Protein backbone atom coordinates (compact mmCIF):
# COMPACT_ATOMS: atom_id res chain seq x y z
CA UNK A 1 0.00 0.00 0.00
CA UNK A 2 1.34 3.43 -0.91
CA UNK A 3 -0.92 5.71 1.11
CA UNK A 4 -2.04 5.47 4.71
CA UNK A 5 -5.15 7.06 6.17
CA UNK A 6 -5.77 7.04 9.93
CA UNK A 7 -9.25 7.97 11.12
CA UNK A 8 -9.57 9.59 14.55
CA UNK A 9 -13.32 9.59 15.20
CA UNK A 10 -13.48 11.93 18.19
CA UNK A 11 -15.04 15.41 18.23
CA UNK A 12 -15.80 17.87 20.95
CA UNK A 13 -19.29 18.47 19.55
CA UNK A 14 -21.08 17.52 16.36
CA UNK A 15 -21.35 20.22 13.68
CA UNK A 16 -24.83 20.45 12.18
CA UNK A 17 -23.73 19.79 8.57
CA UNK A 18 -21.28 16.97 9.27
CA UNK A 19 -21.77 13.50 7.84
CA UNK A 20 -18.29 12.21 8.71
CA UNK A 21 -18.18 9.47 11.27
CA UNK A 22 -17.25 10.81 14.70
CA UNK A 23 -18.40 10.49 18.29
CA UNK A 24 -18.56 13.07 21.05
CA UNK A 25 -18.06 12.65 24.79
CA UNK A 26 -15.65 9.69 24.55
CA UNK A 27 -13.58 8.90 27.61
CA UNK A 28 -9.79 9.22 27.69
CA UNK A 29 -9.67 5.50 28.35
CA UNK A 30 -11.50 4.80 25.10
CA UNK A 31 -9.16 7.10 23.18
CA UNK A 32 -6.12 5.28 24.61
CA UNK A 33 -7.63 1.92 23.65
CA UNK A 34 -8.37 3.23 20.16
CA UNK A 35 -4.79 4.39 19.61
CA UNK A 36 -3.45 1.07 20.84
CA UNK A 37 -5.77 -0.74 18.43
CA UNK A 38 -4.42 1.38 15.56
CA UNK A 39 -0.98 0.02 16.44
CA UNK A 40 -2.22 -3.58 16.50
CA UNK A 41 -3.92 -3.13 13.15
CA UNK A 42 -0.93 -1.47 11.52
CA UNK A 43 1.26 -4.42 12.50
CA UNK A 44 -0.77 -6.65 10.19
CA UNK A 45 0.44 -4.80 7.12
CA UNK A 46 3.66 -4.27 5.26
CA UNK A 47 4.15 -0.50 5.54
CA UNK A 48 7.47 -0.33 3.67
CA UNK A 49 5.92 1.20 0.55
CA UNK A 50 3.94 3.94 2.32
CA UNK A 51 4.60 7.35 0.73
CA UNK A 52 1.94 9.50 2.34
CA UNK A 53 0.22 9.55 5.71
CA UNK A 54 -3.04 11.41 6.30
CA UNK A 55 -4.51 11.64 9.79
CA UNK A 56 -8.12 12.77 9.52
CA UNK A 57 -11.34 12.60 11.42
CA UNK A 58 -13.13 13.53 13.45
CA UNK A 59 -10.73 15.87 15.12
CA UNK A 60 -7.24 14.33 15.42
CA UNK A 61 -6.01 17.31 17.44
CA UNK A 62 -8.66 16.67 20.08
CA UNK A 63 -6.19 14.02 21.27
CA UNK A 64 -3.95 15.18 24.08
CA UNK A 65 -0.23 15.75 23.59
CA UNK A 66 0.39 12.41 25.27
CA UNK A 67 -2.09 10.58 23.03
CA UNK A 68 -0.69 12.21 19.90
CA UNK A 69 2.81 11.24 21.01
CA UNK A 70 1.69 7.64 21.39
CA UNK A 71 0.04 7.67 17.96
CA UNK A 72 3.18 9.02 16.31
CA UNK A 73 5.36 6.50 18.19
CA UNK A 74 3.25 3.79 16.58
CA UNK A 75 3.55 5.37 13.14
CA UNK A 76 7.30 5.93 13.45
CA UNK A 77 7.74 2.34 14.53
CA UNK A 78 6.14 1.07 11.28
CA UNK A 79 6.95 3.77 8.73
CA UNK A 80 10.23 5.34 7.60
CA UNK A 81 9.27 8.99 8.00
CA UNK A 82 12.46 10.17 6.30
CA UNK A 83 11.19 8.53 3.13
CA UNK A 84 7.67 9.92 3.38
CA UNK A 85 6.58 12.41 0.77
CA UNK A 86 3.89 13.92 2.99
CA UNK A 87 2.38 13.63 6.45
CA UNK A 88 -0.87 15.59 6.93
CA UNK A 89 -3.03 16.06 9.96
CA UNK A 90 -6.45 17.67 10.25
CA UNK A 91 -7.08 20.07 13.11
CA UNK A 92 -9.70 22.32 14.61
CA UNK A 93 -8.66 25.74 15.89
CA UNK A 94 -9.99 25.26 19.42
CA UNK A 95 -7.87 22.13 19.93
CA UNK A 96 -4.54 23.67 18.92
CA UNK A 97 -2.00 25.13 21.32
CA UNK A 98 1.72 25.81 21.20
CA UNK A 99 2.61 22.44 22.80
CA UNK A 100 0.61 20.45 20.28
CA UNK A 101 1.97 22.41 17.34
CA UNK A 102 5.53 21.83 18.60
CA UNK A 103 4.84 18.13 18.99
CA UNK A 104 3.40 17.84 15.47
CA UNK A 105 6.53 19.50 14.09
CA UNK A 106 8.77 17.14 16.08
CA UNK A 107 6.81 14.13 14.86
CA UNK A 108 7.34 14.98 11.19
CA UNK A 109 4.00 16.49 10.19
CA UNK A 110 4.61 18.37 6.95
CA UNK A 111 1.08 19.58 6.30
CA UNK A 112 -1.38 21.05 8.78
CA UNK A 113 -4.99 21.31 7.71
CA UNK A 114 -7.21 23.60 9.76
CA UNK A 115 -11.00 23.45 9.64
CA UNK A 116 -12.19 27.04 9.83
CA UNK A 117 -15.20 26.73 7.47
CA UNK A 118 -16.05 30.43 7.78
CA UNK A 119 -14.37 33.42 9.35
CA UNK A 120 -17.81 34.82 10.20
CA UNK A 121 -19.23 33.88 13.58
CA UNK A 122 -22.78 34.18 12.17
CA UNK A 123 -22.15 31.76 9.32
CA UNK A 124 -20.41 29.31 11.63
CA UNK A 125 -23.47 29.49 13.85
CA UNK A 126 -25.70 28.58 10.87
CA UNK A 127 -23.44 25.57 10.34
CA UNK A 128 -23.64 24.62 13.99
CA UNK A 129 -19.89 24.99 14.17
CA UNK A 130 -18.97 25.76 17.74
CA UNK A 131 -15.60 27.45 17.26
CA UNK A 132 -15.03 30.91 18.70
CA UNK A 133 -13.43 33.79 16.82
CA UNK A 134 -10.75 33.95 19.51
CA UNK A 135 -9.87 30.28 19.02
CA UNK A 136 -9.42 30.85 15.28
CA UNK A 137 -7.27 33.95 15.81
CA UNK A 138 -5.13 32.14 18.42
CA UNK A 139 -4.64 29.07 16.24
CA UNK A 140 -3.64 31.20 13.26
CA UNK A 141 -1.20 33.14 15.41
CA UNK A 142 0.48 30.02 16.80
CA UNK A 143 0.65 28.46 13.33
CA UNK A 144 2.13 31.63 11.82
CA UNK A 145 4.82 31.66 14.52
CA UNK A 146 5.61 27.96 13.92
CA UNK A 147 4.89 27.43 10.23
CA UNK A 148 4.50 23.99 8.69
CA UNK A 149 5.91 23.21 5.27
CA UNK A 150 2.34 23.20 3.98
CA UNK A 151 -0.73 24.76 5.53
CA UNK A 152 -4.35 24.33 4.45
CA UNK A 153 -7.54 26.02 5.59
CA UNK A 154 -10.94 24.40 4.93
CA UNK A 155 -13.82 26.68 3.99
CA UNK A 156 -17.49 26.04 3.27
CA UNK A 157 -19.49 28.19 0.89
CA UNK A 158 -23.14 28.37 -0.08
CA UNK A 159 -24.18 28.79 3.56
CA UNK A 160 -27.70 30.23 3.88
CA UNK A 161 -27.52 34.06 4.10
CA UNK A 162 -23.84 34.07 3.09
CA UNK A 163 -23.21 36.56 0.29
CA UNK A 164 -20.50 36.31 -2.38
CA UNK A 165 -18.86 39.31 -0.65
CA UNK A 166 -18.78 37.39 2.63
CA UNK A 167 -17.10 34.47 0.90
CA UNK A 168 -14.60 36.76 -0.82
CA UNK A 169 -13.73 38.12 2.62
CA UNK A 170 -13.03 34.52 3.73
CA UNK A 171 -10.75 34.03 0.73
CA UNK A 172 -8.91 37.20 1.66
CA UNK A 173 -8.40 35.92 5.22
CA UNK A 174 -7.02 32.67 3.82
CA UNK A 175 -4.42 34.61 1.84
CA UNK A 176 -3.50 36.69 4.88
CA UNK A 177 -3.14 33.56 7.03
CA UNK A 178 -0.13 32.45 4.99
CA UNK A 179 -1.62 29.20 3.68
CA UNK A 180 -0.34 27.62 0.51
CA UNK A 181 -3.58 25.66 0.06
CA UNK A 182 -7.26 25.99 0.75
CA UNK A 183 -10.24 23.71 0.25
CA UNK A 184 -13.66 25.22 -0.41
CA UNK A 185 -16.63 22.89 -0.19
CA UNK A 186 -20.09 23.74 -1.41
CA UNK A 187 -22.50 23.15 1.48
CA UNK A 188 -24.71 20.16 0.88
CA UNK A 189 -27.37 18.91 3.24
CA UNK A 190 -26.49 15.33 4.04
CA UNK A 191 -29.02 12.86 5.38
CA UNK A 192 -28.97 12.24 9.11
CA UNK A 193 -27.26 15.52 9.91
CA UNK A 194 -28.84 18.16 12.13
CA UNK A 195 -29.18 20.50 9.12
CA UNK A 196 -31.30 17.88 7.31
CA UNK A 197 -33.96 18.39 9.97
CA UNK A 198 -34.18 22.11 9.27
CA UNK A 199 -36.11 23.79 6.47
CA UNK A 200 -33.04 25.12 4.68
CA UNK A 201 -32.94 26.21 1.08
CA UNK A 202 -29.64 26.40 -0.74
CA UNK A 203 -29.21 28.93 -3.55
CA UNK A 204 -27.34 27.23 -6.40
CA UNK A 205 -26.77 30.44 -8.35
CA UNK A 206 -25.07 32.12 -5.41
CA UNK A 207 -23.04 28.96 -4.74
CA UNK A 208 -21.97 29.04 -8.38
CA UNK A 209 -20.75 32.65 -7.98
CA UNK A 210 -18.73 31.54 -4.95
CA UNK A 211 -17.24 28.61 -6.86
CA UNK A 212 -16.11 31.12 -9.47
CA UNK A 213 -14.74 33.46 -6.79
CA UNK A 214 -12.66 30.59 -5.39
CA UNK A 215 -11.40 29.83 -8.89
CA UNK A 216 -10.16 33.39 -9.28
CA UNK A 217 -8.58 33.71 -5.83
CA UNK A 218 -5.16 34.56 -7.30
CA UNK A 219 -2.42 33.47 -6.57
CA UNK A 220 -4.18 30.18 -5.71
CA UNK A 221 -5.10 27.90 -8.55
CA UNK A 222 -7.85 25.31 -8.58
CA UNK A 223 -6.47 21.80 -9.14
CA UNK A 224 -9.56 19.82 -8.10
CA UNK A 225 -13.22 20.74 -7.78
CA UNK A 226 -12.80 21.83 -4.14
CA UNK A 227 -9.03 22.26 -3.81
CA UNK A 228 -6.73 25.20 -4.53
CA UNK A 229 -2.97 25.56 -4.16
CA UNK A 230 -0.28 28.18 -4.68
CA UNK A 231 1.79 25.78 -6.79
CA UNK A 232 2.18 22.09 -7.66
CA UNK A 233 4.32 21.45 -4.59
CA UNK A 234 1.52 22.73 -2.31
CA UNK A 235 -1.10 20.34 -3.71
CA UNK A 236 -2.11 17.56 -1.33
CA UNK A 237 -0.14 14.56 -2.50
CA UNK A 238 -2.13 12.04 -0.48
CA UNK A 239 -5.44 13.11 -1.97
CA UNK A 240 -4.02 13.26 -5.49
CA UNK A 241 -2.73 9.71 -5.10
CA UNK A 242 -6.08 8.48 -3.82
CA UNK A 243 -8.07 10.23 -6.56
CA UNK A 244 -5.90 8.65 -9.22
CA UNK A 245 -6.62 5.15 -7.90
CA UNK A 246 -3.41 4.41 -6.01
CA UNK A 247 -3.51 1.92 -3.17
CA UNK A 248 -4.74 3.09 0.22
CA UNK A 249 -4.62 1.52 3.64
CA UNK A 250 -7.30 2.97 5.91
CA UNK A 251 -7.00 2.29 9.63
CA UNK A 252 -9.71 3.14 12.15
CA UNK A 253 -13.49 3.17 12.37
CA UNK A 254 -15.09 4.16 9.05
CA UNK A 255 -11.73 4.15 7.24
CA UNK A 256 -11.67 2.83 3.68
CA UNK A 257 -8.91 0.85 1.99
CA UNK A 258 -8.17 0.01 -1.63
CA UNK A 259 -5.68 -2.61 -2.76
CA UNK A 260 -5.91 -1.79 -6.47
CA UNK A 261 -8.78 -4.23 -7.01
CA UNK A 262 -11.18 -4.23 -4.05
CA UNK A 263 -12.30 -1.63 -1.54
CA UNK A 264 -13.31 -2.26 2.04
CA UNK A 265 -14.55 0.03 4.77
CA UNK A 266 -14.38 -0.46 8.52
CA UNK A 267 -17.67 -0.20 10.33
CA UNK A 268 -18.85 3.20 11.46
CA UNK A 269 -18.49 2.14 15.05
CA UNK A 270 -15.61 2.58 17.48
CA UNK A 271 -16.46 -0.58 19.43
CA UNK A 272 -16.53 -2.62 16.22
CA UNK A 273 -13.03 -1.37 15.38
CA UNK A 274 -11.82 -2.18 18.88
CA UNK A 275 -13.33 -5.67 18.61
CA UNK A 276 -11.71 -6.26 15.23
CA UNK A 277 -15.06 -6.77 13.50
CA UNK A 278 -15.06 -7.48 9.77
CA UNK A 279 -15.11 -4.48 7.44
CA UNK A 280 -17.65 -4.17 4.66
CA UNK A 281 -16.26 -5.25 1.28
CA UNK A 282 -17.02 -3.49 -1.97
CA UNK A 283 -16.21 -6.07 -4.64
CA UNK A 284 -17.21 -5.12 -8.15
CA UNK A 285 -16.11 -6.29 -11.58
CA UNK A 286 -12.88 -4.98 -13.05
CA UNK A 287 -14.58 -2.90 -15.76
CA UNK A 288 -16.74 -1.03 -13.25
CA UNK A 289 -13.72 -0.42 -10.99
CA UNK A 290 -11.80 0.95 -13.95
CA UNK A 291 -14.65 3.36 -14.73
CA UNK A 292 -14.87 4.38 -11.09
CA UNK A 293 -11.15 5.25 -10.98
CA UNK A 294 -11.48 7.13 -14.26
CA UNK A 295 -14.46 9.12 -12.96
CA UNK A 296 -12.90 10.06 -9.62
CA UNK A 297 -9.77 11.55 -11.14
CA UNK A 298 -11.88 13.62 -13.54
CA UNK A 299 -12.49 15.77 -10.46
CA UNK A 300 -8.98 17.11 -10.99
CA UNK A 301 -8.28 19.97 -13.36
CA UNK A 302 -5.47 17.90 -14.90
CA UNK A 303 -7.76 14.94 -15.59
CA UNK A 304 -6.20 11.93 -17.29
CA UNK A 305 -3.06 11.84 -19.39
CA UNK A 306 -2.81 8.85 -21.70
CA UNK A 307 0.56 7.66 -20.33
CA UNK A 308 -0.68 7.71 -16.71
CA UNK A 309 -3.89 5.92 -17.57
CA UNK A 310 -2.20 3.23 -19.67
CA UNK A 311 0.28 2.55 -16.90
CA UNK A 312 -2.69 1.42 -14.80
CA UNK A 313 -4.86 0.00 -17.56
CA UNK A 314 -2.82 -0.85 -20.66
CA UNK A 315 -4.41 -0.61 -24.11
CA UNK A 316 -7.66 0.94 -22.86
CA UNK A 317 -7.18 4.62 -23.70
CA UNK A 318 -9.02 4.50 -27.01
CA UNK A 319 -11.96 2.80 -25.35
CA UNK A 320 -12.11 5.60 -22.75
CA UNK A 321 -11.88 8.18 -25.53
CA UNK A 322 -14.88 6.61 -27.25
CA UNK A 323 -16.94 6.51 -24.06
CA UNK A 324 -16.11 10.09 -23.17
CA UNK A 325 -16.83 11.35 -26.67
CA UNK A 326 -20.34 9.90 -26.39
CA UNK A 327 -20.93 11.51 -22.99
CA UNK A 328 -19.47 14.81 -24.22
CA UNK A 329 -22.33 14.99 -26.76
CA UNK A 330 -24.75 15.25 -23.82
CA UNK A 331 -22.68 17.84 -21.92
CA UNK A 332 -21.96 20.71 -24.22
CA UNK A 333 -18.66 22.50 -23.76
CA UNK A 334 -17.66 20.55 -20.61
CA UNK A 335 -14.78 18.35 -21.78
CA UNK A 336 -11.30 18.93 -23.14
CA UNK A 337 -10.59 15.88 -25.29
CA UNK A 338 -7.27 15.59 -27.04
CA UNK A 339 -5.35 12.62 -28.34
CA UNK A 340 -3.50 12.11 -25.05
CA UNK A 341 -5.63 14.09 -22.58
CA UNK A 342 -9.17 13.78 -21.24
CA UNK A 343 -10.27 16.35 -18.69
CA UNK A 344 -13.16 18.54 -17.62
CA UNK A 345 -12.99 22.30 -18.02
CA UNK A 346 -14.25 24.72 -15.32
CA UNK A 347 -17.84 24.35 -16.48
CA UNK A 348 -17.52 20.57 -16.72
CA UNK A 349 -16.19 20.26 -13.16
CA UNK A 350 -19.49 21.71 -11.95
CA UNK A 351 -21.31 18.85 -13.71
CA UNK A 352 -18.96 16.21 -12.33
CA UNK A 353 -21.71 14.39 -10.41
CA UNK A 354 -23.86 13.96 -13.48
CA UNK A 355 -20.92 13.05 -15.73
CA UNK A 356 -19.66 10.49 -13.21
CA UNK A 357 -23.12 8.87 -13.14
CA UNK A 358 -23.00 8.54 -16.94
CA UNK A 359 -19.61 6.84 -16.70
CA UNK A 360 -20.77 4.43 -14.01
S1 LIG B 1 -17.08 18.84 10.81
FE2 LIG B 1 -15.21 18.09 11.76
S3 LIG B 1 -15.31 18.92 13.85
FE4 LIG B 1 -17.38 19.08 13.03
S5 LIG B 1 -18.36 17.15 13.68
FE6 LIG B 1 -17.55 16.81 11.64
S7 LIG B 1 -15.56 15.90 11.94
FE8 LIG B 1 -16.18 16.85 13.90
* Per-residue model confidence as pLDDT tens digits over 214-260: 999 999 999 999 999 999 999 999 999 999 999 999 999 999 999 99
Taking 90 as the threshold, does the pLDDT of residue 199 lie above it?
A: no
Mean pLDDT for all residues in the chain: 97
Under the banding of pLDDT at 50, 70 and 90, the label for residue 11 is very high
60-64, 90-94, 192-196, 277-281: segment of lowest average pLDDT: 192-196
> Which atom of ligand 1 is nearest to 14's Cα?
5
Q: What is the mean pLDDT of the segment spanning 12-16?
A: 96
Residue 197: its pLDDT value, please? Answer: 87
Render pLDDT for 306-355 as a digit per residue (tens, 0 to 9).
999 999 999 999 999 999 999 999 999 999 999 899 999 999 999 999 99
Distance 187 CA to ligand 1 centre (A): 14
Structural domains of the chain in order of their starting residue, each with its CATH number: 3-242 (3.20.20.70), 286-360 (1.10.10)
Interior/surface letters 147-161, b for 16+ CB within 10 angstroms, e for the rest: ebebbbbbbbbbbee
Ligand 1: which of 7, 58, 91, 155 to mutate, most ligand atoms within 8 Å of CB? 58
- pLDDT, residue 358, reads 95
The CA distance from 58 to 91, in Å, is: 9
User: 264 C-alpha to center of ligand 1: Å?
Assistant: 23
**pLDDT number for residue 200:** 85
Which atom of ligand 1 lies nearest, measured to the CA of 92? 3
The pLDDT value given to residue 259: 96
Q: Do residues 5 and 57 touch, judged by C-beta distance below 8 A? A: no
Per-residue pLDDT at 131: 95
pLDDT digits (tens, 9 = 90+) for 296-320: 999 999 999 999 999 999 999 999 9
Residues with CB under 6 A from ligand 1: 11, 14-15, 18, 20, 22, 57-59, 92, 115
Give the pLDDT confidence of 17-28 residue by residue, as tens digits: 999 999 999 999
Give residue 241's pLDDT: 98
Please give the average per-residue pLDDT across 119-133, as a whole number: 96
Please report, rounded to a whole number, the percentage of residues in the chain having pLDDT higher than 70: 100
Amino acid sequence: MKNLYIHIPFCRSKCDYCAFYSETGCTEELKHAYIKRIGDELHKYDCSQIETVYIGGGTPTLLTVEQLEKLFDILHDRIAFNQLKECSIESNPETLDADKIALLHDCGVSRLSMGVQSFSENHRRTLGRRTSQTAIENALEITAANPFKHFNIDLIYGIPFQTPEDFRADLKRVKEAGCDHFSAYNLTIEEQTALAGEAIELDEDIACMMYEAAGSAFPFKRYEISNYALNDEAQCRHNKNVWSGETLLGIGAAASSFDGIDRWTQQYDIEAFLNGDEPEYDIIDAELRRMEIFAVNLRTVRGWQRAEWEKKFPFSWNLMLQKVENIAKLYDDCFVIERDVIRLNDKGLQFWNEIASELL
